[in-house]
Amino acid sequence: MEKTLFEKIADKEIPAEIVYEDDQCVAFRDVNPQAPTHVLVIPREPIPSLESLAETNAPLLGHLWMVIRDVARQEGIAQGGYRVVVNCGQDGGQTVDHLHFHVLGGRPLQWPPG
């Protein structure tokens, strides 16, 4: 099966500024940042979306949240606060079919989103 764009980034076939990686996940800067800090955290496993998660993915999800917390600290936005966004499906605005968590910070963020 064709690799997703984010699998290619995780496998370093497409360049990206990787800020963290381990055997389960990769975090890299979004190419079109919406805030001074905009990092995407993805599992290496090409899970298409939140909707396609299985019960067996629960430990991976727990790990991803710990990585998100650590990336926020590493980026210096933990103290000021930040937002984690998962777009799911067409109405959710998902454009890349590989589960990813947006970590946004470095400025006050508006609410609600559009």
71 binds ligand 5GP (CB under 6 A): no
Task: Please give the distance of CA 5 from its chain centroid, rounded to a whole number.
Answer: 13
- As measured in angstroms, the least distance from the Cβ of 82 to ligand 5GP is 15
Task: Please give the distance of CA 95 from its chain centroid, rounded to a whole number.
Answer: 13
C-alpha–C-alpha distance, residues 28 and 9, integer Å: 9
C-alpha–C-alpha distance, residues 36 and 86, integer Å: 18
89 binds ligand 5GP (CB under 6 A): no
Which part of the chain contacts ligand 5GP (CB under 6 A), choosing from 22-30, 52-60, 66-74, 75-83?
22-30
Q: Which is nearer to ligand 5GP, 74 or 87 (CB)?
A: 87
Q: What is the bridge-based pairing of β-strands 37-43 and 82-85? A: unpaired
Q: Which is nearer to ligand 5GP, 55 or 91 (CB)?
A: 91
- As measured in angstroms, the least distance from the Cβ of 59 to ligand 5GP is 23
Tokens read off for 105: 């910070």
The question of whether 102 is a catalytic residue gets the answer no
Return the bridge partners of 38, or none: 104
81 binds ligand 5GP (CB under 6 A): no
